[in-house]
Amino acid sequence: MRWPALVLVALIVLLQYPLWLGKGGWLKVWDLDRQLQAQREENRKLETRNAGLDAEVRDLKSGFEAIEERARYELGLIKQDEIFVQIPQK
């Protein structure tokens, strides 16, 4: 009676191996699902960044206010007859 039980257990183990550890097994599926979720999160961050850059480009193309603001902030430009006051940071 013991041999048929051992044969059945061995057969079940052999049938379960591809399901869990094979090429398309559950462990591989779980790993790929984790990678897919991480890639989706990265894509969401990049889409948000791209939307911000697109809005900035449209703003720079449409008017001079954005160009002037950027020139003042990044290059320190001032208009004629303006007084520039610099306050040191503590």
d(CA 59, CA 53): 10
Q: CA torsion angle for 70, 73, 76, 82 (degrees, to 10)? A: 90
Burial class from Cβ neighbours inside 10 Å (0-12, 13-18, 19+) for residue 66 reads middle
Q: Hey, is 33 helix, strand or coil? A: helix
- Give the pLDDT confidence score for residue 39 in this predicted structure: 98
Q: What is the pLDDT of residues 50-81, one digit of tens each?
A: 999 999 899 888 888 888 888 888 888 888 88
Give residues with Cβ within 8 angstroms of 56, minimum separation 6.
Answer: 66
Distance CA 74, CA 63 (A): 18
Q: Where are the alpha helices (DSSP H) in 1-90?
A: 2-21, 26-62, 64-70
Check residue 33 and give its pLDDT. Answer: 94
